[in-house]
Structure 1
Amino acid sequence: MSNPIYLAIDTPYLDNAQALANSAKNHIGGIKLGLEFFCANGHHGVHEMGKIGLPIFLDLKLHDIPNTVAKAVQSLNMLSAAILTVHASGGRAMMEDAKAAAGSNIKVVGVTVLTSMDDHDLNRVGVEDNPHDQVRRLADLASEAGLDGIVCSGQEVKTAHQRWKDGFFVVPGLRPAGSAVGDQKRIVTPRQARDDGASILVIGRPISAAENPDEAARAIVGSL
């Protein structure tokens, strides 16, 4: 992939999303559309964003019983997304069914531990392991289930890549040196994540909140 940067579009407003993507499209490799955008705009919004001409990463983090997730994935196939997320904690059967239901050109990746969570947060929901160990466990499970890869923070991607040589690794929560951390707890720089094995780099506010998104994206590309 010549440009691994996927711009996170976190807005419910289609016009704003189109304007942002168009403003940075010369220096990004794709667009990530999440729940906020999808709940407001649905299939229509994804189709409209697809007209920009960049690959679409549909970050819906599906998590339900295997049959329900499989049917949801089938209903999304017509959108021709390049990447789709499910929660790895949904279990092996759910992940297997999600991958089986996906179109041949869709990479299905399992979300491991959200980058907004740390040891304390995991403990509060009953997970005794630290994020690193939990990511490793879920990465192994996703691989066994036949997924294409996982979503993890830059702090775990090196270990995940060592264990899963041909895996596809999506790393969000990235912050260029000197950027505000915001609500992220386990962050690294885009360059470090790429060096450690990230396949794509999901970057939002450092580009979307910049005075000039195109310049911000170009600077990040230059740092790689």
Structure 2
Amino acid sequence: MPADEMRDRLIVGLDVPTLAEAEKAVAELGDTVGFYKIGYQLAFAGGLGFAQELVQSGKKVFLDMKLLDIDNTVAKGVENIARMGVTMLTLHAYPKAMRAAVAAAEGSGLCLLGVTVLTSMDEQDLIDAGYEYDPHTLVLRRAEQVRDAGMGGVVCSAAEAEAVRAIVGPDLAVVTPGIRPAGAALGDQKRVMTPAGAIRAGASHLVVARPVVAAADRRAAAETILAEMLTAA
């Protein structure tokens, strides 16, 4: 696979506290990275406006909002997000919310992603939260619900990517956070995989935050990850 195609599969998470830090990271990464994730931390520090600036500059944006609410509220939120021109948006993979979002995003080109089980959660965490399923079983059940709702893809751990890909088929996005290059610290992630391993497992996109944005040389860190991804192509 050409390097520029692989570049579109790497999503760098701008998990930084201020717009100034985000702008600095994007400037340092330059044309090495073309796809960015904006989550709660940056969104509530002016990141939604920054998302539109990135889109206008030719970058792709993954808005990681993990929406979940009553159907009408989800639908109205998705309608406005679709107008922003971002590429991807996350929702928690609850069937009613997903169906409402799909109807609201129809014709927009916005790729809706269902979040299955957070990669910071293990079996005990799910038990504590009142779920009867282990992480793997719950991920697969929600992958089926994502597919049946007509969503654009799934967010799951790379450890579940192969099984999820078998459920959703070849066309849906399988987006995997919790990616750590060989030798990197795990941080608060519990179900992780290397970039090459995730690609081989069936991931369409990899989300990498701290290994890039916290690196002394952000561009070099991103280039290393891309090189690892290319070994799996």
Give the alignment's TM-score, normalised by structure 2: 0.91
Give distance in 2, aligned partners of 1:36 and 1:135: 25
* Equivalent residues of 1:12, 1:41 under 8 A apart: no
* Equivalent residues of 1:7, 1:21 under 8 A apart: no
* Equivalent residues of 1:110, 1:147 under 8 A apart: yes
2:192 maps to 1:187: yes
Give distance in 2, aligned partners of 1:70 and 1:190: 34
What's the counterpart of residue 103 of structure 2? Answer: 100
- 3-state SS of the aligned residue for 1:11? coil
Cα offset, 1:51, TM superposition: 4.1
Structure-2 change in CA distance of 1:42 and 1:222 (3 Å): closer
Give distance in 2, aligned partners of 1:120 and 1:184: 14
2:22 maps to 1:7: no
What's the counterpart of residue 213 of structure 1? Answer: 218
Q: Residue 125 of structure 1: which of 123, 129, 133 is its match?
A: 129
Give distance in 2, aligned partners of 1:218 and 1:66: 41
What's the counterpart of residue 53 of structure 1? Answer: 58
Give distance in 1, aligned partners of 2:44 and 2:145: 29
2:43 maps to 1:38: yes
Give the alignment's TM-score, normalised by structure 1: 0.95
* Equivalent residues of 2:136, 2:160 under 8 A apart: yes
- Deviation readout 1:107-135 (Å, 9 max, x if unpaired): 00100000000000001111122111100
Letter in 2 for 1:61: K
Q: Residue 167 of structure 1: which of 165, 172, 186 is its match?
A: 172
What's the counterpart of residue 80 of structure 1? Answer: 85
Aligned residues: 222
* Equivalent residues of 1:111, 1:152 under 8 A apart: yes
- 3-state SS of the aligned residue for 2:159? coil
Cα offset, 1:43, TM superposition: 3.4
Cα offset, 1:74, TM superposition: 1.1
Cα offset, 1:95, TM superposition: 0.4
2:175 maps to 1:136: no
Give distance in 2, aligned partners of 1:42 and 1:205: 18
* Equivalent residues of 2:19, 2:47 under 8 A apart: no
* Equivalent residues of 1:26, 1:214 under 8 A apart: no
> Unpaired segments of 5 or more residues in structure 2?
none
Structure-2 change in CA distance of 1:148 and 1:101 (3 Å): same
What's the counterpart of residue 110 of structure 1? Answer: 114
* Equivalent residues of 1:116, 1:183 under 8 A apart: yes
CA RMSD of aligned residues (A): 1.3
- 3-state SS of the aligned residue for 2:6? coil
What's the counterpart of residue 76 of structure 2? Answer: 71
What's the counterpart of residue 204 of structure 1? Answer: 209
Q: Which runs of 4+ in 1 moved over 4 A?
A: none
- 3-state SS of the aligned residue for 1:109? strand
* Equivalent residues of 1:207, 1:213 under 8 A apart: yes
Give distance in 1, aligned partners of 2:127 and 2:44: 30
Give distance in 1, aligned partners of 2:199 and 2:151: 21
Give distance in 2, aligned partners of 1:67 and 1:12: 31
